[in-house]
Structure 1
Amino acid sequence: MFMTGIDMHIVNVALPTLSTDFDAPLSDVQWTVIAYLLTLAVVIPASGWIGDRIGTKRTFLFALALFTLASALCGAAQSLPQLVAARALQGVGGGLLTPIGTAMLYRAYGPERRARVARTLILPILIGPGAAPILGGVLTETLSWRWVFFINVPFGIAMVVFAWLFVPEHQPSPHGWLDVAGLILSGAGLSALLYAISEGSILGWAAPEVVASGLGGIGLLWLFAHRALRAEEPILDLRLLRDPLLRSTNITFTLTTAVFLGSLYLTPIFLQQVMGQSPIESGTTTFVEVLGVAAGSQTLGRLYPRLGPRLLCVLGGITLTIYLALFLLVDDSTSLWLVRALMFFGGVGNAGTFLAIQTSMFTNISSADTGHASAIYNTIRQSSIAINIAIVTSIVSAAGSTTLTAFHQAYLAAAILALTGTILAWLLIDNKLATKTMIGGSSGQGSDLGAT
């Protein structure tokens, strides 16, 4: 999870360098990020079926090996299309790793222990993206952008060996066929929608290909959802979203944490192009967000049994809204220490929201359905991050990628989305449905997590 979390954002700090090396605009280079997120979202729905069919351990090992191979191919790419293709392949491996790993973890721990588990799980999922910019900055500036991908190879090989030796197998009785039609509808629909959002600011929102792609994407996703609610064994069992807690926490994630993670794509570019920082300097500045996540997860996490997911999501959402809105006051004369303090503040808010969502989401989902529920969550997670990245990039590209006003408009849009998510968290999340996860307080967390 740490590897996939890092690779979601490690390339962000290298985007200006990639744009120069490949002589391509930001609107083209962004596909090195979107291609990865897109294939994550396309593959994740099949992860539950694949894990049940061939076993979670074998699926996990295959995904690790593929992710490692694709990382090597990314580093060796000689053109932007080659890099985008290798990133897509990397996303296939990552798309299997995260939901399979999440399902394995939540099968091992009951609802009453998940608040403690979530405080550990938050580290690879949220600190990975936060640590990625500084790691990417150091590698890009001291070695080459290629090393932001090559760095995965030795760790990937080591993890394959570790997983082979120590990860237990869990293989329910396989049944049914893979829902190929559902997989195609979801993948094609999301791809078309992302293309429309990404290219609208360049070609014009009224351009025939943009309109056709946007409407076509929405239509395909509607057909996918319509079919998934009626099929006997759909690729994503959307009927699980009838559980109000699973549904409300996914909506909240889409409009809070996903918006924040999308802003982590934008901030290194803002720091380099507007504030004139080097890759290392921008990475160091955004890295402070990691400290906020670490502080927030260990302090707010202890409040979860008393506050519950509703209030913790609202507090986190308010913090994220303020964090994004304050970027409207940042320009090239702003002290970097103020920006770093702002990153810390955002990290604390994100930790609160994410921890509440991650802890409570699967409370009322049976063990047999955990794999499918995890696939739904991770699909929504990656799709919403990709869409948020496409939105902020589109806003910046529409006004010119080096214009301060354009970046401010993007941060304003993100703040509005986060505020919307905060309001919906207050209206939709019911603490009574998460009572089982609010038992036990914070005592004994160290002994319980030692085996994780």
Structure 2
Amino acid sequence: MRDQGFATGRGFAPPPGRRVSAKVAVGVVSVAANFMAIMDTTIVNVALPALGHDFSVDTSGLSSVNVGYLVAMAVFIPVSGWLTHRFGTRRTALAALLLFTAASGLCATADSLMALTGYRVLQGAGGGLLAPVGMTMMLRAFPVAERLGAQRYLMLPTAVAPALGPVLGGWLVDTASWHWVFLVNLPVGTLALLFGLWTLPDVPGAGAPRFDLAGFVLAGGGLAAVLYALTRAPDRGWGSGHTLVPLLGGAVLLTLMVPWELRARHPMIDLRIVEDQLFRTTQLGLLPMGAAFMGVLYLYPQFLQTGLGYDALHAGLSTFPEALGMLTVNQLMPLLHARVGPRRLMAAGGGGATLIIVFLAAGTGDSPSFTLYPAMYLLGCSVGLLFASGQNAAFVTIPPSRTADATTVLTMQRQLAAACGVALAGTLAAHGYRAGFLTMGAVSLCAALFSLRVSDRRVREGYRADNARTASAHRAPAADP
């Protein structure tokens, strides 16, 4: 009942003297934490030439800076659910926030590539915990009926951070130095940490079982190896040993993980969560769209620079309309969701994104550049339709006690989808941007078709069950003697 108490105001211990509601506290900390973690996957890219100059390393030799971060994230995502069960959401979230912020400061002090890579690994460890723990806190804090309203603000990191990273990073490198790419996290992280210490409510851990070491090695090692291979594939080639060995090895580990975790008495990752029909079908739409979206965000700035002659800063600014489109849709989502339903919203979002991506493919020819700005805005609107409605529907039928397991699985899948999208786009870019965009359009079309399997009826049933559960929790005190 403690998990239910988070949403109803019962069953958690607020910090002494707290004057902020649990929902506001969770919203502020989650937005700040996820914003930093997501932005750090893109903000460093524009600083690589400056890093290479200072460390006397060729830009191609700086891949460890990003690979170390992504691999560390992959290793620590699987353990996030266990830590939440063991230590509770408050302590896990604050510890991850402290680790990420401190590691950001260390990155700014690095005097060698080896030191920077090591600090980025620490930063990735914190980042790997922030996303799933933040989502778990949000799902427990807000009843199902209130999540779409809260999502107007909680989707801010997903919408803005990937597009803002290159813009902010380029400006900081041009006006100050590469150190500020990491220092920019310190004020945000410190304020979020202090605010969380003062306001964040606690959902004590239910007492996690014994640590599943084998499951952690199989899941963390497999995910890290696959992400490493996908990250290096566009540069090294898919036939290179640097790609094939970790890709095949990681695939073997992830394959072995499935029967192990299904048989384990206390699995590190509860894969049985995918038996929930609504959770499973929404993922079939969310994951290909995540791959297509990240692939387009990889291709589009490069096309603007090499095809249209934009500089890095203006290429980043030209990407930003997609974030505005996602934010626009988030404001309208509660009304749209009530009138249309998630299945048609997701299918319309996937179909709209497919048309826009195909238009971008045609724009690699002689189309006027000013048409690309509204295209990116409409792409953001389309992707936002699918993401917002799909992510909300995914957790409608997940009971509060299993939210940590569900967010762990979702975050792992999302990382793999994003890496696959970027790797595929990077490989196809060598054959022309049009081929890359058209392939991303095909992936987006798959998302639209899979979205047709989402059941609006199950969503409505989930809403009714959650309303009954919340009402029962409110009535419980009156029945006490």
TM-score tier, shorter chain, comes to: 0.7 to 0.9
Q: Deviations over 1:322-341 (max 9, x none)?
A: 23222223348654422222
2:8 corresponds to which residue? none
Name the CA shift for 1:139/1:209 in 2 (closer, same or farther; >3 Å): closer
1:425 corresponds to which residue? 451
Q: Deviations over 1:206-255 (max 9, x none)?
A: 44554443322211110011211121111110001000111112222110
* 2:77 and 2:220 in contact (8 A); partners too: no
1:101 corresponds to which residue? 134
2:433 equivalent to 1:407: yes
2:344 equivalent to 1:319: no
Q: Which stretch has the larger CA shift, 62-71 or 213-222?
A: 213-222
Q: How does 1:290-369 map to 2 (within 5 A)?
A: 290-331=323-364, 335-369=368-402
2:58 to 5, 24, 41: 24
Q: Which stretch has the larger CA shift, 355-364 or 298-307?
A: 298-307
Name the CA shift for 1:183/1:86 in 2 (closer, same or farther; >3 Å): same
Q: Distance in 1 between matches of 2:457 and 2:112?
A: 54
Q: Percent identity among equivalent residues?
A: 34
1:435 to 460, 472, 475: 460
Superposition CA RMSD, Å? 2.5
Name the CA shift for 1:42/1:86 in 2 (closer, same or farther; >3 Å): same
Match of 1:429, SS state, is: coil
TM (normalized to structure 2)?
0.82
Name the aligned partner's letter for residue 165 of structure 1: W
Name the CA shift for 1:258/1:316 in 2 (closer, same or farther; >3 Å): same
2:15 corresponds to which residue? none
Name the CA shift for 1:320/1:204 in 2 (closer, same or farther; >3 Å): same
Query: How many residues are matched?
Result: 430
Name the CA shift for 1:24/1:99 in 2 (closer, same or farther; >3 Å): same
Q: Distance in 1 between matches of 2:293 and 2:284?
A: 14
* 2:67 and 2:228 in contact (8 A); partners too: no
Q: Deviations over 1:130-156 (max 9, x none)?
A: 322322222122222332211001111
TM (normalized to structure 1)?
0.87
1:171 corresponds to which residue? 204
Runs of at least 5 residues in structure 2 that lack an aligned partner in the other structure:
1-33, 465-481
Larger-Rg structure: 2
Name the CA shift for 1:433/1:148 in 2 (closer, same or farther; >3 Å): same
Q: Deviations over 1:327-371 (max 9, x none)?
A: 223348654422222211111111101101121111111111111
2:292 to 251, 259, 267: 259
Q: Which stretch has the larger CA shift, 3-12 or 302-311?
A: 3-12
* 2:173 and 2:181 in contact (8 A); partners too: yes
* 1:190 and 1:217 in contact (8 A); partners too: yes
Q: Deviations over 1:356-399 (max 9, x none)?
A: 11211111111111111111112212222123222322333xx3
Q: Which stretch has the larger CA shift, 214-223 or 198-207?
A: 198-207
Name the aligned partner's letter for residue 271 of structure 2: L
Name the CA shift for 1:436/1:406 in 2 (closer, same or farther; >3 Å): same
Q: Distance in 1 between matches of 2:179 and 2:363?
A: 31
1:289 corresponds to which residue? 322
Q: Distance in 1 between matches of 2:90 and 2:268?
A: 20
Name the aligned partner's letter for residue 431 of structure 1: D
Name the aligned partner's letter for residue 435 of structure 1: R
